[in-house]
Amino acid sequence: MTPPTDLANQPPTVPAALAKKLEKLGIRRRFDLVLHLPLRYEDETHLYPIADAPYGQPVLVEGAVVSHEVSFKPRKQLRVQIEDGSGVLLLRFIHFYPSQIKQFAEGSRVRALGEIRRGFLGDEMVHPKTREVREGAPLAESLTPVYPTVNGLTQPMLRKLVHGELRLQQLGEVLPPPLLEPLALQPFAEAIRLLHQPPPEWSAQQLADPRLPAWQRLKFDELLAQQLSMRLAYRARRQGSAPRIVGDGSLSARLLQNLPFQLTAAQRRVLEDIRADLALPHPMHRLLQGDVGSGKTIVAALAALSAIEAGYQVALMAPTEILAEQHYLKLSGWLAPLGIGVAWLSGSLRKKAKAQALEEIAAGRCRLAVGTHALFQDDVRFERLGLAIVDEQHRFGVGQRLALQGKGEEPHQLMMSATPIPRTLAMSFYADLDVSVIDELPPGRTPIVTKLIGNPRRPEVVGLVERTCAEGQQAYWVCPLIEESEALQLQTAVDSHQQLQQDLPGRRIGLVHGRMKAAEKAVVMAAFAGGELDVLVATTVIEVGVDVPNASLMVIEHAERMGLAQLHQLRGRVGRGSARSVCVLLFDSPLSDLAKARLKVIYENVDGFEIARQDLQIRGPGEFLGARQSGLPMLRFADLEQDQQLLEAARDLAPQLLERWPQAADAHLERWLAGKEQFLKA
């Protein structure tokens, strides 16, 4: 655009050291200062008489210093008494500099901003913001904004920088009036000015209200920028080219015949979505969501067969060796009878075996390659890769997804996730993907009973394990996640294993943990799956993908340490057969509030989407996004849950804007996202 935009995109004119600090706040260009909005406001416009000042809110008072002293009981502190004719007030500082003491010479006047509370010795303010003043010094005319900042960057410095830009930058509308008017939003310039420089009549409470039209405007703009950038990413992909894949259905039909079950309606529907995408000449990026146990693997297998029928190869990746191996076993079990070669590729493979797998993939003798991250590596060459399937996609980085695209023809991508993404997240951070949901579990599942049991009652739980085994069922015993120490985690698993062997002498009890070699793990897992073990003690390696229908009891030790998604995943390992299943969450008291909230959610809910929605509320979107986070424009002002209506409005408007006013779309993106990583132009 024209010069005003250039001004917006210049780096702030400040010394290098300061520029670094601004950068930490995400401020790289001058317009970012305009969008750097206050966290809250301080009110220095009104002076309260000490005696009349209300409790429980920040107030400004002024008085003459009556006395000051450094006392050492109960701990070192500076105590200053001031009085203003209406009353006296104690100012208390636990951290202070010797120079500060001077400010409080007897007889000097100070203004103090803080909350008054009833102290042991009368009314007091702890760590007020103070300033020495002359009698009758003028008060601030409007509220003082308090900005997010970093060490060494003071509020006055930030204020000066921001206010300087407000005078220089173009704050006019970049969005077309016909689009804005129906929304009845406050003009951008008005909203920005109000929030940075509120007029005197505004109170801090009014400004903190998220429903304030000014905030609504900024949230909307931010969400719109996000929607535009996601749509552009979507569009860019739809402009790429990929092979049109249309299978003849011959192999799929044979696999379906061999299966002991029928596909659910939901499985058939998502398969239709996938097949329709594969038939298009641009790369599919479809996210297949389905709760644990909803049957994503067979969908993946049938999608793979479509590609194989059409003469293409397929890669299937999983984030852990165990999960990848489970897939390998399952898929080769399904595909081998159809005469289709399946290759196995993992980091722990011996050189010779690896070379052979690579050779079979390159020569096209294997039509399906299953593996871990090893499949992403440079030495992997496909003869004709048409489809890449990624299980638990949120664990892979964006970079890895892209690395795969670089191989030969751009393949179609199917991502599968058992961590349900709440609707609002799907609408925002995942808006560049197409999403299919398996919203129905296969028939014949019995509901899982969840029990919360305190550690002192552990013997009862051991009794339950015994009864379960006596009925011919199997049990998982999952050991705590210990983030600080893998060694410690291993130790607890080893201890629990030993303890259970002592407590249940007649039972066959296996152990898997992350330190075991893949082959060793596979032996134990296979023994459990084959019913040669009654109990499987495991660290959280069994989190995803393990499928043993005869297991009907899941015990999770120290459930309070685990996240909701993880608990939900673990619980989903049982309830796969016809036996009544139980999940015991063992916890250690006392529980933190967060742990309590989590356990309550998992206890009360079985639906993965509801759990995910509540998880989003408890934790915010950060952890959901995982690797996705790094490449995407984050939201600073909008809250997905609270601002759902704005999100929907932004989503509906983004395509219109791109279609009819591409220049306005560009200007809006420029305003909000220029300089950010994922900046595409309309």
Residues 540-559 that bind ligand ADP (CB under 6 A): 547, 549
Q: Give the per-residue contact string, 381-420, with ligand ADP (x = CB under 6 A; - = no).
A: -------------------------------------x--
- Least CB distance to Mg ion at residue 590 (A): 36
C-alpha to C-alpha distances, 21 to 8, 28, 122, 168, 429, nearest whole angstrom: 19, 10, 41, 22, 28
The SS3 call for residue 366 is strand
Considering only 576, 613, 651, 668, the residue that binds ligand ADP (CB under 6 A) is 576
The CA angle 274-277-278, to the nearest 5 degrees, is 85
Token digits for 118? 């009833």
Residue 4 CA to residue 304 CA, distance in Å, equals: 52
Residue 19 CA to residue 209 CA, distance in Å, equals: 31
If the CB atoms of residues 283 and 295 are measured against ligand ADP, the closer one turns out to be: 295
Residue 502 CA to residue 221 CA, distance in Å, equals: 63
Residue 181 CA to residue 402 CA, distance in Å, equals: 40
Token digits for 584? 């015991």
431, interface contact from Mg ion, ligand ADP, none, CB < 5-8 Å by kind: none
Question: Where does this chain touch ligand ADP (CB under 6 A) — which range of 79-87, 296-304, 344-352, 518-526?
Answer: 296-304
User: Under the criterion CB under 6 A, does residue 292 sit at the interface with ligand ADP?
Assistant: yes
Name beta bridge partners: 110: 63, 132
Considering only 442, 510, 514, 563, the residue that binds ligand ADP (CB under 6 A) is 442
319, interface contact from Mg ion, ligand ADP, none, CB < 5-8 Å by kind: none
Q: How many residues does the chain have?
A: 682
298, interface contact from ligand ADP, Mg ion, none, CB < 5-8 Å by kind: ligand ADP
290, interface contact from Mg ion, ligand ADP, none, CB < 5-8 Å by kind: ligand ADP
Binding residues for ligand ADP, rule CB under 6 A, total: 18
If the CB atoms of residues 549 and 626 are measured against ligand ADP, the closer one turns out to be: 549
- Least CB distance to Mg ion at residue 2 (A): 53
Question: Phi and psi for 456 in degrees, rounded to 5?
Answer: -60, -20
The answer to whether residues 173 and 221 touch, using CB atoms and an 8 Å cutoff, is no
The SS3 call for residue 440 is coil
Residue 512 CA to residue 497 CA, distance in Å, equals: 10
C-alpha to C-alpha distances, 261 to 1, 257, 295, nearest whole angstrom: 60, 9, 11
What one-letter code names the amino acid at 455? N
413, interface contact from Mg ion, ligand ADP, none, CB < 5-8 Å by kind: none
Residues 205-264 that bind Mg ion (CB under 5 A): none
401, interface contact from Mg ion, ligand ADP, none, CB < 5-8 Å by kind: none
User: Under the criterion CB under 6 A, does residue 608 sit at the interface with ligand ADP?
Assistant: no
User: Under the criterion CB under 6 A, does residue 370 sit at the interface with ligand ADP?
Assistant: no
Residues 234-263 that bind ligand ADP (CB under 6 A): 261-263
Considering only 59, 116, 298, 323, the residue that binds ligand ADP (CB under 6 A) is 298
- Least CB distance to Mg ion at residue 545 (A): 5
680, interface contact from ligand ADP, Mg ion, none, CB < 5-8 Å by kind: none
The SS3 call for residue 647 is helix
- Least CB distance to Mg ion at residue 325 (A): 13
Token digits for 265? 């309606």
User: Which residue is it, tokens 């996000």?
Assistant: 226
Q: Give the per-residue contact string, 497-536, with Mg ion (x = CB under 5 A; - = no).
A: ----------------------------------------
Beta strands across the sheet bearing 581-587: 448-454, 581-587, 551-556, 474-478, 535-538, 509-512
The CA angle 328-330-335, to the nearest 5 degrees, is 90
Residue among 627, 677, 633 at smallest CA distance from 393: 627
- Least CB distance to ligand ADP at residue 509 (A): 24
- Least CB distance to Mg ion at residue 300 (A): 8
614, interface contact from ligand ADP, Mg ion, none, CB < 5-8 Å by kind: none
650, interface contact from Mg ion, ligand ADP, none, CB < 5-8 Å by kind: none
- Least CB distance to ligand ADP at residue 442 (A): 3
- Least CB distance to ligand ADP at residue 671 (A): 42
Considering only 411, 545, 575, 633, the residue that binds Mg ion (CB under 5 A) is 545
DSSP-assigned letter for residue 7: H
The answer to whether residues 522 and 494 touch, using CB atoms and an 8 Å cutoff, is no
- Least CB distance to ligand ADP at residue 465 (A): 23
The answer to whether residues 387 and 602 touch, using CB atoms and an 8 Å cutoff, is no
293, interface contact from Mg ion, ligand ADP, none, CB < 5-8 Å by kind: ligand ADP
With residue 386 as reference, give the H or E element that holds it: strand 385-391
Alpha helices by DSSP H, listed for 548-607, are: 564-571, 593-604
- Least CB distance to ligand ADP at residue 316 (A): 12
Which chain residues interact with Mg ion by CB under 5 A? 545
Which chain residues interact with ligand ADP by CB under 6 A? 261-264, 267, 290, 292-298, 418, 442, 547, 549, 576
